């Protein structure tokens, strides 16, 4: 599975949180996957209980200029 984010700062924030929590992969790099899984589980459980509303339609439609700048949107 590959996950992409709408802005590069999200990846940086996840990596920074892994460092703050002292979560490191076997190669010594911050274990961003562990942070994502932990946070996703919390949100996923809340969503499954109906405590989180779905996103508004079109929330992930990027502005045209960002697509042209080479950013990826899925």
What six digits make up the tokens of 64? 């045209």
Tell me the pLDDT tens digit for each residue of 11-24.
999 999 999 999 99
Q: What pTM, to 2 d.p., does this model score?
A: 0.67
Low-confidence ranges of the chain (pLDDT < 50): 68, 74
b/e code 21-50 from CB counts within 10 Å (16+ = b):
eeeeeeeeebbbebbbeeeeeeeeeeeeee
Residue 64 CB-density burial (10 A; 0-12 exposed, 13-18 middle, 19+ buried): exposed
């Amino acid at each position: 599975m590959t996950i992409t984010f709408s802005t590069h700062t999200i990846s940086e924030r996840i990596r920074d949180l892994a460092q703050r929590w002292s979560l490191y992969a076997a190669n010594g790099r911050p274990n961003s996957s562990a942070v994502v899984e932990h946070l996703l589980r919390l949100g996923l459980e809340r969503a499954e209980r109906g405590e989180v509303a779905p996103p508004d339609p079109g929330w992930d439609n990027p502005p045209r200029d960002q697509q042209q700048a080479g950013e990826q949107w899925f």
